[in-house]
Structure 1
Amino acid sequence: MAQQGSAVRGTGPSTSRASSCFVRSLISAAFISTASRIFANAFVLNRKFEPVSLAPISRRETAQSWLHQEGTGILSRGSAVFSPKKSLLRDAPPDDSSSATVEQLELSEESIPVQSVTSTLSGLKTSPDLVLQRAGIDPEEEEIIRDTVPHRLVSHRDIFCNRELQMSQIKAVGFDMDFTLAQYTTAFDELAYEGAKKKLVEIMGYPEEVLGFRYDPTLFRRGLLVDKQLGNFIKIDKHKAVRAASHGSKPMPREERLNLYVRSLVKLPSFLRDSRFVPLNTLFQLVDAVLFAQLVDLHDSRPDLVEKGRLKNYEKMFADVHRVVDLCHNDGTIKDTVAEDPEKYIFEDKEVLSMLRGLKEAGKKVFLLTNSHWEYTTVVMNFVMGNKAPHTRTTEWLDLFDLIIVAAGKPAFLSDRRDLFRVDPKDGRLLNTCPDLIADVDGYLAEGKVFQAGNWKTLNNLLNLQAGREQLLYVGDHMYSDIIEGRKSLGWRTCLVIPELAYEVRTQQIQKKTMAQLQELRGELNDVDLYLDALVMEQRKRRKANDNSPSSVALDAEIREVRIKQEEVTKRWKKLNLELHAVYHPTWGELFKAGYQKSQFAKQVQDYSCVYTARVSNLGLVSGSRSFRPPRERMPHESVLDFDDLPRLLEEEGEEQETEN
């Protein structure tokens, strides 16, 4: 497994290192002779670059791919419908806009490309790629068998570690339900989206045009921020620099983005603290994002509706969207429909049951902590048990857990003092209880282990945890309610479920050569920059000395030639970066990257999730005593140590010693 921050330098590392060392030694020599300068110049300028074998990616292919497996039409929420191997588009006419010219590229460290995506949802069928993105499940994978020796090959079935975690010290493991134990299809999104549209028109008085909107799950991804005030969506990196933006569903030009969020003379906004910005922390919120973006587009294109009062300002529209989507979750629009046919709306992961049972067999207390109410929780957990039809539902799933808390009200559950009620599983009735006066926890839970509301202190008492919060591991999908608050406020150990991670990992594996070429080009650009900088320093020195000799004239010409080479390498790097960027998502790129930096989402994953994985059942692939250790982090000045090469270097050293002996 590659170490964090390790540099991958193309397919010819020896040539790359030789060139870098040569140029740097030349610079340090300060151009002792004209011959050395000319030779180095020729070496850098005549460098051969391997052509990039990355097929052009058309906008239509990426947004409108036909999918090749029978099933219900679903799309990835917050992750575009792409195949990293080839287009799945059938019978599509050629698209001349499939590849961008160099003149159209604006990509740099400070700007990642944004393109519009127009998707057609009709006629789509389930594909393994989409299941991989949406649920972290690969229908075509073979049974996973783990050796006792730690493996280096990264897989979407892996559990990745940010902070050392020893499962042997964990006494209790808790789970969120929605988008954790149960992953939802985009048919689930459609229920919320269609219901919210009708409520906007029928209850909130929005124009009839809203009913013509169509749900586009490819527009946005998790980790973005919604600027409610301006109707924008932005992606920021770990330094809180805005790297990409759109206004409504339309990509924002680079200059407009810089003027709004970088060059403004007013105080820069606090993206993570200002209520003006709303993070997309969970897949649930992508319905809100799509509907709000479409309202922004309608607002801008129909000023007459604004003048008539049929459309409000951006901030009020966002509040209305949030209100009607919440209403759909609470009034039965969504959950009553799911209860009738859960198989249409929930992915089936048959490994969840064995994972939960395995944790109990390992001596862990297992609990469920969900914001869903009892009636819906029993529907979903029965589906997880394999009881798909309404008449097959039982309460046997309760045996999977030592404790169940529904309607928890996270994140308030993690801070507020809220009353706890016992739930009668037979009819869902709420019964008063007083957990503060419990003398015998086991006896208390024997009377009934299903509760509603309460708070974290009640949870600790019911789990009978005596030796601190580090004994509890909580697994969830919501970045704030499940992970940040639990880790930062309570010190819980945390595991973040990121379904999109499966697609990201597989795409990285498929595009490994392209990524190496990209890194090689960046290394070449650094070498050219260093060489040009040395030439400019020499030129400055000669001009101060009024040196007009022929060699100085030649130096000026040399600088012009190197600048041309610098521009050529930069364009090649930008073009390749654009193409690789579009493989992940044509507008927002990699989930964990913003430009050449980690995205803010990636930073939060690293800061607050002790471990993270693509699907919850991956926890069943490890024992209850497994120790997770993070890879060695590196600072830029440590790049001289190529840790990925250490095994090879040690092997070579051993061979040399054998030869000497």
Structure 2
Amino acid sequence: MRGRGSGKDRIFVNRSLALEKIKCFGFDMDYTLAMYKSPDYEELAFTLLLEHLVAIGYPPEILAYKYDPTFPTRGLVFDALYGNLLKVDSHGNLLVCAHGFRFLKGAEILHYYPNKFIQRDDMKRFHILNTLFNLTEAHLYACLVDFFTNCSRYVNCDTGYKHGNLFMSFRSMYQDVREAMDHVHLSVGAVGKGLVVGCLKEKTLENLEKYVVKDPRVPLLLSRMKEVGKVFLATNSDYTYTDAIMSYLFNFSNEDKADVPRRPWRSYFDLIVVDTRKPLFFAEGTVLRQVDTDTGKLRMGTYTGPLQHCAVYSGGSSDVVCDLLGVKGKDILYMGDHIFGDILKSKKRQGWRTFLVVPELARELQVWTEKSELFEELRSLDLFLAELYQHLDSGSSERPDISSIKRRIQKVTHEMDMCYGKMGSLFRCGSRQTLFANQLMRYADLYAASFINFLYYPFSYLFRAPPVLMAHESTVEHSHRDSGDGVTALPPWLAQHGDPGQQVPQDSSGEEEDDGEA
């Protein structure tokens, strides 16, 4: 088995965690245990979304659009008032603004956002697209805005489009797309009742090899986890779909050369809960019912008995999970891909230890290492900028000309961003961290490209978080603290978030463990 030398095989640490203190490993299913093949899966979802919109009255010309995996990234914000896709930092400051596929600059941005700032808590207007399922949604907004903006039949307005006596606002467009998302992501059970056509789950099950990644290391890792603790599955998916996906993931013939004996997928888990309705699951939850695994139907009444081996439950809450498994919050390490539904709520409401799956990390690490000269140039520009002001004070009339340096910083930042995709990096825009990066650092104790990276660590491992220095600690040297020239030239953003020459945060072992508080 290969080691964890490469970044994509490593686990990164925001808060120290002693793995030997974890008594229970919890998993989401979609995009965590079950990874979907990109871009095939997103292309399928995008096509189904377009078909549904046409079915409810949208122009058939939109069917000409194809999913472009280089355009969207997670963590974008859709402005339902002006129809813009925004990339923001944790405070709501704008980093990138796009109207359709056109990126706005200068005066155009100020027209919509005079302060280059948004009130993120205005949930009726600003909608954060944080999940991997949201990638197709984000791209669809861009396609629709692009189409209506350039179609001669429609008159462009700040808040939507006019066509004769009809007006379509961006808010109504958002509502239509959300309804299409709900339609496409309906349960397989609803499809079986003849209620819908064009269901993503149904189409996925028709061609599992095309859309779902099958990895023999999954049953191997779960069998090892079950030897040292308890393992549970908590998914929003229905039982019919969950059973089909998990059976596929764990069904390996001798030719597949899996390192564990073939056995039913349910035997890898101490507890299985479907239809969890996260994030509600982490609050009051819903009624806990038992699933008849022969028929897939729910049994009557609320389940009140003890935990049964290989049984499947529906609904419930995180409190019920703790009670059934006999564990408390910090005994659990929960792994998921949804920064809000899986990580933030489980951390804030239950105190669970958290592991965020970030598949994009493999690409982010590749750019980080291959384009190190750009990060180094940005660092040098910051150093040079600091030097220009080094010997000036409040009595100085001199004003250094920094216009050329600012232009170069903008050019290098743009070149860096384009290495990741049209919307730039998931984690930053030049030297500024995105909202997604801030939430990851705040709520995910650990993160990696895949949970399978646990294979490369012993269960006695202590994940040790690197020290985080405040600005006054990182820019003033200890040896010169009493002199006037103790300020280092290292810019604060580099000092706080890492020198590009250091690559990425390291996973490490040590003797201390924090309490895991966010």
Q: TM-score over 0.5 for the alignment? A: yes
Cα deviation, 1:539-592, whole Å, max 9, x if unaligned, reads x4xxxxxxxxxxxxxxxxxx68x63xx44444433333332222122x322211
AA matched with 2:264: E
Q: In the TM superposition, what is the alpha-carbon distance from 1:410 to its structure 2 partner? A: 0.9
Cα deviation, 1:501-523, whole Å, max 9, x if unaligned, reads 11111221222233223212210
Match in the other structure for 2:2: 144
Match of 1:377 among 218, 225, 242: 242
Q: In the TM superposition, what is the alpha-carbon distance from 1:273 to its structure 2 partner? A: 4.6
Counterpart-to-counterpart distance in 2, 1:570 and 1:580: 15
Residue 321 (str. 1) matches residue 177 (str. 2) = yes
Residue 342 (str. 1) matches residue 199 (str. 2) = no
Q: In the TM superposition, what is the alpha-carbon distance from 1:402 to its structure 2 partner? A: 0.8
Counterpart-to-counterpart distance in 2, 1:630 and 1:617: 20
Conservation of the 8 A alpha-carbon contact between 1:238 and 1:597: no
Residue 597 (str. 1) matches residue 421 (str. 2) = no
Match in the other structure for 2:386: 526
Match in the other structure for 1:189: 42
1:478-493 to 2 correspondence within 5 Å? 478-493=338-353
Residue 610 (str. 1) matches residue 459 (str. 2) = no
Conservation of the 8 A alpha-carbon contact between 2:355 and 2:444: yes
Cα deviation, 1:230-287, whole Å, max 9, x if unaligned, reads 10111111332111111122211222223422438xxx64214522111111110111
AA matched with 1:144: R
Conservation of the 8 A alpha-carbon contact between 1:193 and 1:325: no
Match of 1:581 among 417, 421, 442: 417
Residue 426 (str. 1) matches residue 268 (str. 2) = no
Conservation of the 8 A alpha-carbon contact between 2:416 and 2:430: no
Conservation of the 8 A alpha-carbon contact between 2:272 and 2:312: yes
TM-score computed with the length of structure 2 as normaliser: 0.82
Give the secondary structure class of the aligned counterpart of 2:67. coil
1:107-506 to 2 correspondence within 5 Å? 143-145=1-3, 155-185=7-37, 186-202=39-55, 204-263=56-115, 269-302=118-151, 304-305=153-154, 306-308=162-164, 312-330=168-186, 331=191, 333-362=199-228, 364-386=229-251, 396-432=264-300, 434-436=302-304, 438=305, 441=306, 444-446=307-309, 448-465=310-327, 468-506=328-366
> How many residues are paired up?
454
Give the secondary structure class of the aligned counterpart of 2:47. helix
Conservation of the 8 A alpha-carbon contact between 1:356 and 1:620: no
Q: In the TM superposition, what is the alpha-carbon distance from 1:164 to its structure 2 partner? A: 1.6
AA matched with 1:583: C
Counterpart-to-counterpart distance in 1, 2:287 and 2:410: 57
Conservation of the 8 A alpha-carbon contact between 1:235 and 1:244: yes
Change (3 A) 1:285 1:165: same
Match in the other structure for 1:75: none
Counterpart-to-counterpart distance in 2, 1:570 and 1:228: 32
Counterpart-to-counterpart distance in 2, 1:482 and 1:176: 8
Counterpart-to-counterpart distance in 2, 1:598 and 1:616: 24
Counterpart-to-counterpart distance in 1, 2:431 and 2:107: 19
Counterpart-to-counterpart distance in 2, 1:456 and 1:309: 51
Counterpart-to-counterpart distance in 2, 1:246 and 1:159: 33
Counterpart-to-counterpart distance in 2, 1:395 and 1:275: 48
Select the structure with the greater relative contact order (CA < 8 A; seq sep ≥ 6).
1
Match in the other structure for 1:116: none
Match in the other structure for 2:510: none
Counterpart-to-counterpart distance in 2, 1:311 and 1:497: 41
Counterpart-to-counterpart distance in 2, 1:634 and 1:617: 31
- Give me the CA root mean square deviation: 2.5
- Which structure is higher in helix share? 1
AA matched with 2:284: D
For the pair shown, which has the larger CA radius of gyration, 1 or 2?
Answer: 1
Conservation of the 8 A alpha-carbon contact between 1:591 and 1:602: yes
Conservation of the 8 A alpha-carbon contact between 1:221 and 1:286: yes
Query: Which runs of structure 1 show a deviation greater than 6 angstroms over 4 or more consecutive aligned residues?
Result: 642-645
Cα deviation, 1:79-123, whole Å, max 9, x if unaligned, reads xxxxxxxxxxxxxxxxxxxxxxxxxxxxxxxxxxxxxxxxxxxxx
Counterpart-to-counterpart distance in 2, 1:417 and 1:511: 46
Counterpart-to-counterpart distance in 1, 2:413 and 2:247: 46
Change (3 A) 1:273 1:173: farther
Q: In the TM superposition, what is the alpha-carbon distance from 1:303 to its structure 2 partner? A: 6.1
Counterpart-to-counterpart distance in 2, 1:270 and 1:570: 27
Give the secondary structure class of the aligned counterpart of 1:320. helix
Q: In the TM superposition, what is the alpha-carbon distance from 1:433 to its structure 2 partner? A: 5.1
AA matched with 2:361: L
Change (3 A) 1:352 1:249: same
Q: In the TM superposition, what is the alpha-carbon distance from 1:602 to its structure 2 partner? A: 0.7
Q: In the TM superposition, what is the alpha-carbon distance from 1:206 to its structure 2 partner? A: 1.5
Give the secondary structure class of the aligned counterpart of 1:633. coil
Q: In the TM superposition, what is the alpha-carbon distance from 1:422 to its structure 2 partner? A: 1.1
Q: In the TM superposition, what is the alpha-carbon distance from 1:145 to its structure 2 partner? A: 2.2
Residue 619 (str. 1) matches residue 454 (str. 2) = yes
Conservation of the 8 A alpha-carbon contact between 2:27 and 2:335: yes
Give the secondary structure class of the aligned counterpart of 1:218. coil
Counterpart-to-counterpart distance in 1, 2:449 and 2:429: 20
Change (3 A) 1:317 1:161: same
Higher mean C-alpha deviation, range 594-603 or range 636-645: 636-645
Cα deviation, 1:340-393, whole Å, max 9, x if unaligned, reads 22010112333222221111112x1101111111111122112221459xxxxx
Change (3 A) 1:154 1:517: farther
1:70-89 to 2 correspondence within 5 Å? none
Give the secondary structure class of the aligned counterpart of 1:618. helix
Q: In the TM superposition, what is the alpha-carbon distance from 1:636 to its structure 2 partner? A: 2.1
Change (3 A) 1:572 1:248: closer
Counterpart-to-counterpart distance in 2, 1:327 and 1:633: 44
What are the ranges of 5 or more consecutive residues in structure 2 without an aligned counterpart?
A: 155-161, 192-197, 254-261, 478-489, 500-518
Conservation of the 8 A alpha-carbon contact between 1:191 and 1:333: no
Counterpart-to-counterpart distance in 1, 2:290 and 2:123: 38
Q: In the TM superposition, what is the alpha-carbon distance from 1:310 to its structure 2 partner? A: 7.2
Change (3 A) 1:574 1:434: closer
Q: In the TM superposition, what is the alpha-carbon distance from 1:417 to its structure 2 partner? A: 4.0
AA matched with 2:176: D
Conservation of the 8 A alpha-carbon contact between 1:281 and 1:480: yes
Change (3 A) 1:310 1:425: farther
% same residue: 33
Give the secondary structure class of the aligned counterpart of 1:294. helix
Higher mean C-alpha deviation, range 164-173 or range 510-519: 510-519
